[in-house]
Amino acid sequence: MRWTQTLIPTLREAPAEAEIVSHQLLLRAGLVRKLAGGVYSFLPLGLRALRKVERIVREEMDRAGAIEVLLPALQPPEIWQQSGRYETARQVLYKVYDSARREWVLSPTAEEVITLLAAAEIQSYRQLPRNFYQISVKFRDEIRPRFGLMRAREFIMKDAYSFDVSDEAAQQSYQRMYEAYTRVFARCGLRTFPVEADTGVIGGTLSHEFMVPAETGENEVAYCEGCGYAANVEKAVSRVAAGGQAPVQGTAPAPEKFPTPGVQTIEDLSRAPYGVPAERQIKTLVYIVESRPLVILLRGDDQLNEAKLAARLGTTTFRPATAEEIHSLLGAHPGSLGAVAATLPDPAPPVWADERLRGATEMITGANEDGHHFRHVDVARDLRVNEWADLRTVRAGEGCVRCGRPLQIRRAIEVGHVFKLGTKYSEKLGSTFIDESGVRRPCVMGCYGIGVTRTLQAIIEQSHDADGIVWPVSVAPYEVCLTPLQMNADGPVRAVADRLYEALQREGIEVILDDREERPGVKFKDADLVGFPFRVNIGEKLLAKGQVEIKRRAGGQVEAVSVDEAAVRVAALVQEARRALLEAAG
């Protein structure tokens, strides 16, 4: 490609809307342009890089035995009602209406469609296992679209769905996808690490996310350098949470009410004149779950993890109760709440307590009377707890569940997600098969997503420097940029550039020739900004010595080679870089 024949609108300054560096570079390098919040057009170079990520995904899916299909983005709402997700996925579902006022939904994912397809087309164990995948546009009504392609309203996802005869067979399908994902990201030159993940409202039993470590990531991951345990904090547990903490000991007298005027928070009660450390307090929260109240107890220094709550409840339809709702339920305002049995209304709302409170004694909790608390509270003796659950968020420094060494927490970007689904969807949507003994059984499913557009941006987030993007060769829009420094038509520079351009293309190298009538400084800046892995400078001075210069974008090494050997040398460098990424994938 010749630079002047395509569209590469580079920008010196990043538009103010771009908060993170990868978003700024997507715009500055002329890869994408925003149409509306969370909705982007791909320009030629952005599209080339995107197609390369897609190709890697496709090759690895094919290699893992998955079969490519293409499912409709426009879907009837009835199938979402049938799976039960019309309600649970309501927040992200875009709805559109046709001229007959009939409602349709725009696909955020495709479990419903593929399971119905399998229900119709797969009848026998002889047709299993099957794994179907597609690479297509998805739509999600995100509350907060941001960071460019990272959290978009319209984006490209690869989604795959496996159907198996048994749990063991499904486990193998899961393992195969897990390995394929590892290869996909390695081939993209992206460092990722898998973490245990929450299965959320999609349901299922086992799940891993593939994470890219990044300060700008929207996820937090707890990990142990000792044994390799790693989990999304939405799911992570520690020795502390697992009940390893000894309860506060003592022969406690009966609970005793005492006045605490003006106390609103855990903090207030921990200060003079009370001086009760947060870990001796019980935090009492009230949530409204699908319109019914739920009282939640945690240790005063712990935070409620809403993802764990959602997983335990099986719904995301909940919110903190308002102060008025709380007052009419418990007769007191936040700051004085508690679950001492005698202070609860009749009938009492359900009370869930975090595991860490199990067996705790000598605790302080609100009395459900404004400005009053109880001391000498023995959780087992005095509180009314209906259910125990792990509801707290782990913190850095707590002991790893597996080996006890201190956990660390870092931020990360989720680029891929693998799930074991079990039979939840196959049962609801009728995907069954006749087994070897003639019995009809539901298929055991898995589902597997890669955010293709998010992956593209994550590569930039991980691989850039002060001058711009540093593309891994496997996903670069072009592998080589030829940069003639003097563009006069009859000079030797242009002729050599043209010759190299032809020669490299013959070698199967993807090359762009910067044929603009621009100063060398402008060309260098743009080439570095876009981030082509190799640049060949062709200028009069070096040509006088019969040489051109090859510069690597990563690391910046420069070597001069003779004009005659240039094409062979550049091709060898590109091939070596391609090979290195393939080898990294194993």
The owner of tokens 């995948």 is 133
Contact of residue 451 among ligand ATP, Mg ion, none (CB under 5-8 Å per partner type):
ligand ATP
Burial of 503 (0-12, 13-18, 19+ CB in 10 A): middle
Q: Which is nearer to ligand ATP, 140 or 420 (CB)?
A: 140
Q: Which alpha helices (DSSP H) does 64-128 contain, by range?
A: 77-83, 85-88, 111-121
State the nearest-atom distance from the C-beta of 320 to ligand ATP, in Å. 21
- Binding residues vs ligand ATP (CB under 6 A): 109, 140, 142, 151-152, 155, 157, 414-417, 449, 451, 453-454
- Binding residues vs Mg ion (CB under 5 A): 417
Q: Which residue is nearest to ligand ATP (CB)?
A: 451
Q: Which is nearer to ligand ATP, 136 or 166 (CB)?
A: 136
Q: Which residues contact 521 (CB under 8 A, 6 or more apart)?
A: none
Quick count: other Cβ atoms within 10 Å of Cβ 252?
17
Using DSSP, state whether 449 is helix, strand or coil: strand
State the nearest-atom distance from the C-beta of 151 to ligand ATP, in Å. 5
Query: Per the structure block, which two tokens stand in for 508?
Result: 């199967």
State the nearest-atom distance from the C-beta of 482 to ligand ATP, in Å. 34
State the nearest-atom distance from the C-beta of 481 to ligand ATP, in Å. 29
Buried b (16+ CB within 10 A) or exposed e, 42-51: bbebbebbbe
Contact of residue 88 among Mg ion, ligand ATP, none (CB under 5-8 Å per partner type):
none
State the nearest-atom distance from the C-beta of 107 to ligand ATP, in Å. 12
DSSP code, position 98: -
State the nearest-atom distance from the C-beta of 417 to ligand ATP, in Å. 4
Q: Which is nearer to ligand ATP, 178 or 274 (CB)?
A: 178
Q: Which residue is nearest to Mg ion (CB)?
A: 417
State the nearest-atom distance from the C-beta of 313 to ligand ATP, in Å. 18
Q: Which is nearer to ligand ATP, 356 or 417 (CB)?
A: 417
Angle between helices 563-584 and 492-506 (to 10 degrees): 40
Using DSSP, state whether 34 is helix, strand or coil: strand
Q: Which is nearer to Mg ion, 206 or 242 (CB)?
A: 206
Q: Which is nearer to Mg ion, 187 or 417 (CB)?
A: 417
Q: Which is nearer to ligand ATP, 202 or 529 (CB)?
A: 202
DSSP string, 387-421: EEE--BPP-TTSBBTTT-SBPEEEEEEEEEEEEEE
Distance CA 375, CA 381 (A): 13
Cα angle 530, 531, 536 (rounded to 5 degrees) comes to 110
